[in-house]
Amino acid sequence: MRILAAGDEFVGTGLLVDAVRAELGGAHEFAELSLPWPVVPFGPVGNVQEASGTEQQVIDAIAGAEVAVTQMAPFTKQVFAAAPRLRMVSVSRGGPVNVDLAAATEAGVAVTYAPGRNAGAAAEFAIGMILAAMRRIATSSAELLAGTWRGDYYSYANTGVELAGTTVGLVGYGAIGSKVARVLVAFGADVLVADPYADRAKVTADGAELTELDDLLRRSFVVSLHARLTEQTRHLIDADKLALLPEGAVLVNSARGGLLDYAPLPDALRSGRLGALALDVYDVEPPPADWALRDAPNVIATPHLAGASRQTAERAAKIVAAEVGRYARGERLANVANPDVLAG
């Protein structure tokens, strides 16, 4: 079987090849392609999103391949048209946004993905962002390194707030949100969850309370976003929703930039409606030089790092390799984004 391994600087090509070889054993032919993400930011390629490299690079590398494993390579209609032998694309991400699923289905190609691959890393990062924002860890560090000793942060009016006894609202309760909830409960926080697809019994068993979004926003001093970005959730948190938050609330987004309407955030921070804002994702990545939040107060900003751990990359490679193994053995695939293709 000929397999295309299209890795990048995070989930490397060698990591993918080694994982697939360990899964399959025996002799298989590999074509290898290395893409420049994250050194070069991802973006739209053809009609797919968050991709790295070009259609032509994939077309040149995929000739004769039956299976492809990748994280960021663009799989567009043009790519599928150039790969008539292709039968499966296994994407090492939580969602295969770099694949044209309609074109894949039309071409008879199953597309698999890797849910939960970065859940541990992203949950840890979200907790870190929450603590950094609540206790001024990042902003006071930046000020100290710039030469300012903020002794006034020890005054009662300016001190941080502990997690214990604080109400924290989680918007989204998938693999990441549920892990965050359990950690917050261990800290002694009161955790609210807004997710129309969440199982109430599971939320309760985790020590949290399931409620509606508006109720969560009114009651939560900290709100952390963990929803998947869809047309229904785009700008889920806008100016009207921000107005529901308690004065001085903390907002954290380490999920997807499109969940937030960024336009009202600078004024919300300057007015005190938001006490702190912690971001790992943005409406435009990277943010432009004239980004309005650069000079807003109490902002923590990191460059889309929540899922960036070595274990995430290794786990992602193993998940896609396991799908290749199932395909090679004729077994049912575990995580198929276009299940209709299997019915054909």
Has 285 been annotated as catalytic?
yes
CA–CA separation, 49 vs 36, rounded Å?
16
Contact 207, 187 (CB under 8 A): no
How far apart (Å, rounded) are the C-alpha atoms in residues 58 and 77? 12
Cβ atoms within 10 Å, residue 294? 12
**HSE of 343 in the Cβ direction (CA atoms, 13 Å)?**
5
* Secondary structure, 3-state, 166-224: CEEEEECCCHHHHHHHHHHHHHCCEEEEECCCCCHHHHHHCCCEECCHHHHHHHCCEEE
Q: Is residue 256 annotated as a catalytic residue, yes or no?
A: yes
**In the annotation, is 228 catalytic?**
no
> 191 forms bridges with which residues in the sheet?
168
Contacts of 178 (CB under 8 A, 6+ apart): 202, 206
Q: Which of 21, 218, 304, 326 is catalytic?
A: 304
Tell me the backbone φ, ψ of residue 2, rounded to 5 degrees.
-95, 130
Dihedral over Cα of 286, 290, 291, 294: its sign: positive
Catalytically annotated residue among 93, 256, 273, 315:
256
List the catalytic residue out of 29, 162, 285, 331.
285
Residues recognised as catalytic: 256, 285, 304
